[in-house]
Structure 1
Amino acid sequence: MLITMTLNGKKVADDVAADTLLIDFVRGHGCLSVKRGCETANCGLCTVFMDEKPVLSCSVLAARASGHTITTLEGLQGEAAEFGAFIADQGAEQCGFCNPGFMMNAIALFREKQDPTDEEIKEYLAGNLCRCSGYEGQLRGIRAYLDWKKQREEDAQ
């Protein structure tokens, strides 16, 4: 079946089998930040934005994404680079395998919550499997990034 979507700002069309998963579609179009981790929609490694909302691409058929806008980490390099430095500074990227899915959910958090509590941050991290860090580094990185962003906005005024 022929499907079309906007992938990272570009219109793409492709003929896919009815059972093709969105993860396979985006990886087939060069978006290698989207990773396969658990195959059970529990790890968050395959997170993408569909119409600006995070979804697990391993549990969405590519045909269901037809006509929608899909954004992967490759399409969010500006936002990701700024935030990523804070994660690295806290040592929260030990092996790096979980980073793309984690970054996608963190960016969703930043877009939806201006000043999240630690509990709200933990809710956004809950769907992301990280076997290396124990999540405290990510929490510190997010908090440091939000504090820096707030200070930058105050300085601009």
Structure 2
Amino acid sequence: MPEVQIRVMVNGRPRTATVPPRLTLADFLREHCRLTGTHLGCEHGVCGACSVLLDGEAVRACLVFAVQADGAEITTVEGIAAADGELSPVQAAFREHHGLQCGFCTPGFVVSVTAFLRDNPDPTDEQIRDGLSGNLCRCTGYQGIIEAVRAAAERPAEHTRTAGT
């Protein structure tokens, strides 16, 4: 199959690449953009470790082909913090409330929670649990993650800061 040229915005930066049509968005981000925060876990869309924002919506980058993202804006975990390195409210809450242990799943959780809180700024614990259901963690037991989401929801700063804004 012939390769396809794509143009995307990744964390606020334009990117152009020629890619095989079946290259996943996760592999494009890791290999072509050198953004390794998008982790590959199950590669079946089950674990959520590869979650990114695609035009503002959380998606599993292992299930999307890079060519499907042509013309889109993509935000990875590297684009969630401010340009000066200040952590987003979600990232700071994960750190402060021990919402991570080994850290492998954390980028996917941070991206998913960022989108979740944008759409649900005052969630109940039941809504938080439901909102987290697409991301798996094998280390923490989830209580610290739930507390981190609750704390991030209570912060006055905007939850949707992405791509270094």
TM-score normalised by structure 2 residue count: 0.85
Structure 1 residue corresponding to 2:5, chosen from 2, 5, 13: 2
Look up the match of 2:22: 19
What is the CA distance between 1:80 and its match in structure 2?
Answer: 4.6
C-alpha distance in 2, partners of 1:66/1:126?
28
Kindly report which structure 2 residues correspond to 1:20-99, keeping only aligned pairs within 5 A, or say none.
20-28=23-31, 29-78=33-82, 80-99=87-106
Q: Judge conservation of contact 1:80–1:107 (CA < 8 Å) in 2.
A: no
- What secondary structure does 1:145 align onto? helix
Contact 1:80 1:103 in 2 (8 A): no
Hey, what's the Cα distance between the residues in 2 that align with 1:83 and 1:60?
25
Percent of aligned pairs with the same amino acid: 38
Q: CA deviation at 1:86?
A: 2.0
CA contact (8 A) 1:42 1:128 kept: yes
- Counterpart secondary structure, 1:77: coil
Q: 1:137 aligns with which of 136, 144, 151?
A: 144
The runs of 5 or more residues in structure 2 that have no matched partner are 158-165
Aligned-pair distance for 1:23?
0.4
- 8 A Cα contact 1:73 1:80, kept in partner: no
1:113 to 105, 116, 120: 120
RMSD of aligned alpha carbons: 1.6
Is residue 126 of structure 2 the alignment partner of residue 123 of structure 1?
no
Deviation at 1:148, TM superposition (A): 3.8
Counterpart-to-counterpart distance in 2, 1:15 and 1:102: 30
Q: Where does the alignment leave 5 or more consecutive residues of structure 1 unmatched?
A: 151-157
Aligned residues of 2:89 and 2:155 also touching (Cα < 8 A) = no
- TM-aligned CA deviation for residue 41 of structure 1: 0.5
Take 2:154 and 2:11, find their aligned partners in 1: how far apart are those partners? Answer: 29
Which residue identity does 2:92 align to in structure 1? A
Q: Deviation at 1:87? A: 1.8
Distance in structure 2 (CA, Å) of the matches to 1:100 and 1:53: 15
2:59 counterpart SS class: strand
Task: Determine whether 1:103 maps to 2:110.
Answer: yes
Question: Which structure: greater helix fraction?
Answer: 1
**Which structure 1 residue ranges, 4+ long, deviate > 4 Å from structure 2?**
none
